[in-house]
Amino acid sequence: MDIAQCLTLIDLLCARRFPPARAGTEHGESGPGYHIAALRTSEGFWEGDGSERDRTRAQYEAERDALAERLGERWGPPQHISLYSVFERTMTGEDLEEPWAGLSGHVPDVQLWRPPGAGRWIALGVSQWDEELPFQLLGIVTETDPP
**107 CB-side CA count, 13 A:** 28
Q: What is the secondary structure of 72-136 as a DSSP string?
A: HHHH-SPEEEE-HHHHHHHHTT----TTHHHHTTT--EEEEE--TTT--EEEEEEEESSTTSPEE
- What's the mean pLDDT in 22-43? 95
**44 CB-side CA count, 13 A:** 6
Structure confidence at residue 47 (pLDDT):
79
Structure confidence at residue 51 (pLDDT):
87
Q: Is the pLDDT of residue 50 over 80?
A: no
Q: Is the pLDDT of residue 40 over 90?
A: yes
Q: Is the pLDDT of residue 142 over 90?
A: yes
- What's the mean pLDDT in 37-43? 95
- Kindly report, residue by residue over 87-110, the tens digit of the pLDDT: 999 999 999 999 999 999 999 999
Angle ∠(65,19,98) on CA atoms, nearest 5: 55
Structure confidence at residue 80 (pLDDT):
96
Higher pLDDT, 85 or 129: 85
Structure confidence at residue 95 (pLDDT):
93
Going by C-alpha positions, the residue among 1, 72, 81, 70 that lies closest to residue 37 is 1
Cα–Cα distances in Å, from 134 out to 3, 42, 80, 117?
Answer: 20, 5, 23, 35
Mean pLDDT of the chain: 94
